[in-house]
Amino acid sequence: MFKRTKLILIATILLSGCSTTNNESNNETKSVPEEMEASKYVGQGFQPPAEKDAVEFAKKHKDKIAKRGEQFFMDNFGLKVKATNVVGSGDGVEVYVHCDDHDIVFNASIPFDKSIIDSDSSLRSEDKGDDMSTLVGTVLSGFEYRAHKEELDNLTEVLKEYKSKYKYTGYTENAIMKTQNSGFRNEYYYLTAIPYTLDEYKKYFQPLIKEDDKSFRDGMRNSKKQLKDKSRPYVVTTLFSTKDNFTKDNTIDEMIDFSEVLKKKKNIPHDLNVSLQISNKYINTTRPNYSKKDVIEVGVFNHE
């Protein structure tokens, strides 16, 4: 049932989306333009490469598959999630979920074989190695959000405040819910976390879920110390310019200026690695990630 888990572990390293196409799944999205303005994209036409019968199977059994996806995250991570999309994927299906449980917030997905609907049994993974580690990292980015919630929420407000001055927008909420699976992300940025094994998650992190905020933050520091993890999470913006004539040359100076503005702001995550990324106004509807050639990236805080 979980033989396809490795697919998601690769897919969630950055942002969701695949670089290949499939003629059968493309037929499902041919009415949607390949690119559109990010501000207007709400996930319409999103369909990973899949066999035709897999797409039809996902539609027919959507509710059952969604419940199994939600059960998977409760059984393995002890977290309540809500299924936000069910799609055909390869020769099987994939469930996209959103978690907002005890201020642990993330988006993720899990692929299943079609046999997932044949039983209501536990979906607890027996994985004792690294196969689930990237998915664990996806979940732990939600833990990092809670650990730095005040500073990250302040950063979000700053990014909202300056979007008119620096002429950018971000992902719509619907696009995030339907297409993104990389962990914590909001309109303007995503947050990374170190991937651990599922056993390490259960030992060091799952017991923190119901702790109060102070105990949670202290517990996160202590767990990472025990794991000899000295790294700091990365906060990376995924901004879309609203300029009609966006180029690197006519935008780079503005982003450098913006980075200097951010460095002077108090109560944002100075202790994390933060960088600004901005590209043109368009998003690829079949691969709604942020892998573009014309992306400007400017560092703000760097602790590496």
Q: What is the full per-residue pLDDT of the chain (304 aa) written as tens digits?
A: 444 443 333 333 334 343 333 444 454 456 889 999 999 999 998 999 999 999 999 999 999 999 999 999 999 999 999 999 999 999 999 999 999 999 999 999 999 999 999 999 999 987 755 668 999 999 999 999 999 999 999 999 999 999 999 999 999 999 999 999 999 999 999 999 999 999 999 999 999 999 999 999 999 999 999 999 999 999 999 999 999 999 999 999 999 999 999 999 999 999 999 999 999 999 999 889 876 778 999 999 999 8
Q: What are phi and psi of 298, to 5 degrees?
A: -130, 130
In the chain the first and final C-alpha atoms are separated, in Å, by 39
Return the pLDDT at 289.
Answer: 83
Inter-CA distances, 26 with 30, 32, 34, 179, 274, Å: 6, 10, 11, 16, 36
Q: What is the pTM of this model?
A: 0.89
Paired sense of beta strands 239-241 and 273-279, if any: parallel
**Taking Cα atoms as reference points, which of 291, 298, 297 lies closest to residue 19?**
291
Return the pLDDT at 304.
Answer: 84
Q: To the nearest 5 percent, what fractions of the chain are helix, strand and coil? A: 40, 20, 40
Return the pLDDT at 286.
Answer: 86
- Alpha carbon distance 194, 133 (integer Å): 9
Return the pLDDT at 18.
Answer: 38
Residue 37 · residue 288 · CB < 8 Å: no
Return the pLDDT at 130.
Answer: 62
Inter-CA distances, 78 with 70, 116, 186, Å: 11, 20, 23
- The residue length of the chain stands at 304
